[in-house]
Amino acid sequence: MRDSRFFLAVLLLAWGTPVHANWGSTAGGSVATGSFRAFGTDQVEMQREDLRIRLFRDRAKVEIDYVFHNTGAAVDVRAGFPSLGVQLEDVKHREIENYTITTDDQPVSFNTESGDPAPFKHLYDAKFREMGELDDYPPEKRPELLEWFVSSVHFEAGQSKRVHINYDSLYAYCGGGYSDDSDDCDDRFAYVLSTAAAWKGPIGVGTITIEPVTVPASRLILSPAGRFLRKGSGLVWSFRNLKPSRADDIVVNLNNHFSTIAAYEENSNPDTQNLSFYIAEGGKYFYLHSHFVPHGEAASPEFSASQVASSIPDTAWHTPHTPGIGDALSLEITKPDHIDQIGIIPGCGSKDQDWFNSARIKAIEITVNSRYTRRGILPDEFTFPWPESHKAYEWIDLPPYPGKAENIRLVVRSVYPGSADQVTCIGKVVLRQWLKKRPAVKSGIDGHELP
């Protein structure tokens, strides 16, 4: 059976839908009915908006720079940023993390207020409601929720101000299936440009830049279609005098849905739980497995090398030295075969704060069969804590080598420094073989096949 913590996380986060918007409000509503409404925005112009969206594997990092101008008398503008989510039992699941707002480079406080999610329900992907596993959570136990990040900013008569907003957006996604087999939807990010209509007049000048950092740009599906032009490695939409409507709301579909079928095989390493899956994604197929026995010195028995092959999310190998540069981990392949890639979770912690507190691996040297070597440079991003998802790993091509891989050696060559300590670890390691055709495998539960 799938680890219960991972399984639960899939179910709960399946309804965490990113719906972000311009600083403003929806039309109508009142505090008395629980629907937030802005104040003073009808006399303030949004002269400029520069929006930057950087796409990582499990989240987008969003930065917005505005220039506002007050056309009337002095006013305390009250406006908010919407955050949609869902409440399951006693737990609220939100997509916004690390939210900050400044005016003219000075921090501005904010509080959260509840609101009515009805105006935003059109942004929930219909597939989220179709996933059978959510039947365990009937509608009365999974109500959508809306919270506003609300701030007040004072404008003198005729004054212009710069406002900067920064936050992390966890992608919306869903997953379902039986036991260790699964079908997962596309990850999605949305930014609601239309709430800028709360301000006086149109957006004077706007530039929206989407930068795929650790996701493939070729896979992205963007809405509205036809607005974004390629510029370097990014996508840019520039406009003037836009009074945005729902037709202008931005949705980024990462087009990364996938299906898995677990391979139930004899575990050659009794100290760990074997992770073996056949996976279909983007019309391609691969076999992901942990057919190896790890060896290496460790900081303590609790953080032994064997942890990298475990399916338990919050376990890891800690290097014997700090920060671990030059420390090595060896994988003895128990079923020698030709392996194409190695996947590494290059840090530890199931929360981003814990992840960045410690050092993370930046450069790693990989040697196959004690002879063929390649060095990989890893991006500094928080990764999924769930070892059963292939999205959890940084993937590195193995160096060209003949025949079968019998052993693989990993050596830490450099790290990203931690903010609190310099402990370096590897959360998990898996091996991946690309398959030339769809594997003839079926689910042991219901005979399900890969698409």
- Listed in sequence order, the residues at least 6 apart from 125 whose beta carbon sits closer than 8 Å to its beta carbon are 17, 172, 174, 185, 186, 188
The two structure tokens encoding residue 309: 């092959």
The per-residue pLDDT for 418 is 95
CA dihedral 72, 76, 82, 87 (to 10 degrees): -150
CATH class of 258-435: mainly beta
Per residue in 86-141, pLDDT (tens digit) is: 666 666 777 788 999 999 999 999 998 888 777 777 666 665 544 444 445 555 54
CATH of domain 17-174+186-253: 2.60.40.3680
Q: How confident is the model at residue 384 (pLDDT cuts 50, 70, 90)?
A: confident
Per residue in 27-52, pLDDT (tens digit) is: 332 232 344 678 899 999 999 999 99
Beta strands at 234-242 and 229-231: parallel, antiparallel or unpaired: antiparallel
- Listed in sequence order, the residues at least 6 apart from 246 whose beta carbon sits closer than 8 Å to its beta carbon are 122, 194
In the chain, what are the domain boundaries? 17-174+186-253, 258-435
The per-residue pLDDT for 1 is 26
Global pTM value:
0.85
Q: How confident is the model at residue 15 (pLDDT cuts 50, 70, 90)?
A: very low
**Using alpha carbons only, how large is the chain's radius of gyration in Å?**
24
**Spatial CA neighbour of 250 closest among 275, 211, 277, 222:** 222
335: buried, middle or exposed (CB in 10 Å: 19+, 13-18, 0-12)? exposed
Would 17-174+186-253 and 258-435 be classified into the same CATH topology?
no
More confidently predicted of 146 and 361: 361
